[in-house]
């Protein structure tokens, strides 16, 4: 059911420092910071040949990643995002298999404007999983 790895999201305490690490130390193509106020994050996209890394930093008081950064002050991997062809069909299959879909189960536009859902980390080896319809 799942297709390509769309991105790995990493929460960082210092976006400029993290961008410099990826650009200079790792030699990657790195975007300018992009504020996404509707998602409560500022994102730097790291473009790799086969996937993306998204460096995330909290934006605003109600950021959904603020508590993650409090628990992981040095930053850390936040989620992986897998592509699916039909997100509602994927959701129904996952729910039937006993996986917990977070929120109300309705897909919402993600950071790329495409419909996404998040799946409970306890059902996926301790890793928060995002599925995105492409």
Task: List interacting residues with Co ion (CB under 5 A).
Answer: 9, 81, 130
Euclidean distance between CA atoms 31 and 22, whole angstroms: 10
19 or 41: whose CB is closer to Co ion?
Answer: 41
What residues does 122 pair with on adjacent strands?
none
83 or 130: whose CB is closer to Co ion?
Answer: 130
- CB 10, min distance to Co ion, A: 10
Answer yes or no: 54 catalytic.
no
- CB 56, min distance to Co ion, A: 8
H/E segment holding residue 76:
strand 76-84
- CB 92, min distance to Co ion, A: 21
Euclidean distance between CA atoms 81 and 116, whole angstroms: 9
24 or 105: whose CB is closer to Co ion?
Answer: 105
Diameter over CA atoms, the chain: 45
Q: Active-site residue among 54, 83, 106, 130?
A: 130
Contact 8, 65 (CB under 8 A): no
9 or 84: whose CB is closer to Co ion?
Answer: 9
- CB 46, min distance to Co ion, A: 13
Length of the chain: 134
Residues with catalytic roles = 130
């Amino acid at each position: 059911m799942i297709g390509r790895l769309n991105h790995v999201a990493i929460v960082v305490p210092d976006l400029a420092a993290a961008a410099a690490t990826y650009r200079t130390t790792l030699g990657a193509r790195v975007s300018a910071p992009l504020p996404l106020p509707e998602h409560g994050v500022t994102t730097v996209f790291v473009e790799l040949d086969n996937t993306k890394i998204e460096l995330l930093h909290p934006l605003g008081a109600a950021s959904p990643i603020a508590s993650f950064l409090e628990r992981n002050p040095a930053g850390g991997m936040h989620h992986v995002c897998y592509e699916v062809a039909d997100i509602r069909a994927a959701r129904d299959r996952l729910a039937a298999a006993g996986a917990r879909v977070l929120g109300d189960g309705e897909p919402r536009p993600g950071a790329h404007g495409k419909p996404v859902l998040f799946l409970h980390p306890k059902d996926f080896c301790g890793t928060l999983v995002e599925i995105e319809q492409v």
